[in-house]
Amino acid sequence: MAYPAKTDRGRILTAAIEQIEEQGLRGLSLRALAGSLGLTPNALYRYFADRSVLESALAGEVAGLLHLAMQRAVRKGASEQAIRSIARVYLDFARKRPKLYELLLLPCDMEGEQATPHQELWSFVLGHVTALTGAHQASEATIAFWAYLHGTAQLETIKVFGDPKPGKAFEYGLDAWLFAASATVGKTAKS
């Protein structure tokens, strides 16, 4: 007689994400995680070779959550509006789910566990930037956009701006990026 599995990969990841949202990545305990699932700690190794593989899988899950949130926020229409929606979702995610956001900052092995969700997220953002800038410098523009979003999120996290934050600073920076991206289109067309 076959016995049903007590858990699966998805349940482990869901429980780990819940634990991280409560205690942060440093508070992730494999023993506590296994206990919350009614498993022995060694049972986790059936699904994840070690903690770093689990963290990579979790980073991929979080990239997927951010990607889904961006997809929901972006409506068909103007490219500029899509970029604004993507930017707001990114910053909102970092603000409201900072302990999960931390997982996005782990080094990403593009050959390993987390590659596909990160690549899908990148491709989604790149596609919207390309629609705005054209293909010529879309990768560079996307990296600049991502750096702006990440930098803003990190500066807020370490409270460089204090409380309250400058109200219009994020929009000012986003307007500057959009202006530069639009200027790139004009230069590309002249080349």
Residues 100 and 81 in one domain: yes
- Give 22-39 as a DSSP string: HH-GGG--HHHHHHHTT-
Together in a domain, 18 and 66: no
Would you say 145 and 125 are in contact if contact means Cβ atoms under 8 Å apart? yes
Q: Are residues 125 and 63 in the same domain?
A: yes
Count of domains forming the chain: 2
Determine what percent of the chain falls in helix, strand and coil, rounding each to the nearest 5. Answer: 75, 0, 25
Can you give the pLDDT at residue 95? Answer: 93
Contacts by residues 168-174 (CB-CB < 8 Å, ≥ 24 positions apart): 170/87, 170/91, 173/148, 174/83, 174/84, 174/87, 174/148
| Banded model confidence at residue 183, pLDDT cuts 50, 70, 90 | confident
CA 143 to CA 170: how far, in whole Å?
17
Q: Is there a contact between 57 and 65 (Cβ–Cβ < 8 Å)?
A: no
Alpha-helical (H) ranges within 40-114 are 51-73, 79-96, 98-104
- State yes or no: pLDDT of 165 exceeds 70: no
Residues 10-46: pLDDT tens digits?
999 999 999 999 999 999 999 999 999 999 989 999 9
Q: Tokens at residue 47, please?
A: 């699904």
**pLDDT tens per residue across span 107-134:** 766 565 556 898 999 999 999 999 999 9
Asked whether residue 129 falls in the same domain as residue 151, the answer is yes
Domain of 92, CATH number, reads 1.10.357.10
- pLDDT, residue 163, reads 67
Range(s) of the domain holding residue 128: 52-190
Question: Looking at the structure, do residues 68 and 125 belong to the same domain, yes or no?
Answer: yes
Mean pLDDT, residues 52-60 taken together: 92
For a pLDDT cut of 90, what percent of the chain falls above it?
A: 68
Summarize the confidence of residues 44-63 as an average pLDDT. 92
Does residue 155 share a domain with residue 75? yes
Tell me, what CATH number does 27's domain have?
1.10.10.60
Average pLDDT, the chain: 87
**pLDDT, tens digit, for every residue of 134-154?**
999 999 999 999 999 999 999
Domain match, 56 and 35 both: no
